[in-house]
Amino acid sequence: MERVFQALASTPRRKILAYLAHAELSAGDIAARFEMSKPAVSQHLSVLENAGLIKSEKRGQFVFYRLLPDALTNVLNGYVQEVCPVSRPLKAESRAIADKQRQSGD
């Protein structure tokens, strides 16, 4: 959990997760979306991977990264539960989420 919160405490890393939410991308694809150098992005990717939030797979010359959504949702929901065990807003929020998912045919 420590590593997950550490990983999330960075805007570029949260941005990377957002990119990976919709598609699998290569390290280069991701780096191209940032101003900073490729090694800097590579370091962010390994922070995210060490936190268990993403997974890398080498295919040929490329390294593809994809999101592991369960890791994120489990840690964050688990944490909310721990700190706010009687959270009315969460209840409302989870209802809203369930509604959205029903709409999107899930």
| By CB under 8 A, residue 74 contacts a second copy | yes
Selected binder of DNA within 45, 48, 53, 75 (CB under 7 A):
45
- The partner in contact with residue 50, picked from DNA, a second copy, none with C-beta cut-offs of 5 to 8 angstroms by kind, is none
What residues numbered 64-103 form the site for DNA, per CB under 7 A?
A: none
- The partner in contact with residue 98, picked from DNA, a second copy, none with C-beta cut-offs of 5 to 8 angstroms by kind, is a second copy
Please say which residue, 11 or 61, places its beta carbon nearer to a second copy: 11
Cβ–Cβ < 8 Å for 27, 63: yes
Task: Write down the residue that tokens 């991308």 correspond to.
Answer: 25
Q: CA separation (Å) from 31 to 53, 98, 106?
A: 18, 34, 32
Strand residues in 1-106 grouped as ranges (E): 25-26, 54-59, 62-67
Cβ–Cβ < 8 Å for 56, 11: no
Angle, helices 11-22/38-50, rounded to nearest 10 degrees: 80
Shortest CB 78 distance to a second copy, Å:
8
Please say which residue, 11 or 103, places its beta carbon nearer to DNA: 11
- The partner in contact with residue 23, picked from a second copy, DNA, none with C-beta cut-offs of 5 to 8 angstroms by kind, is none
| By CB under 8 A, residue 87 contacts a second copy | yes
SS3 90: helix
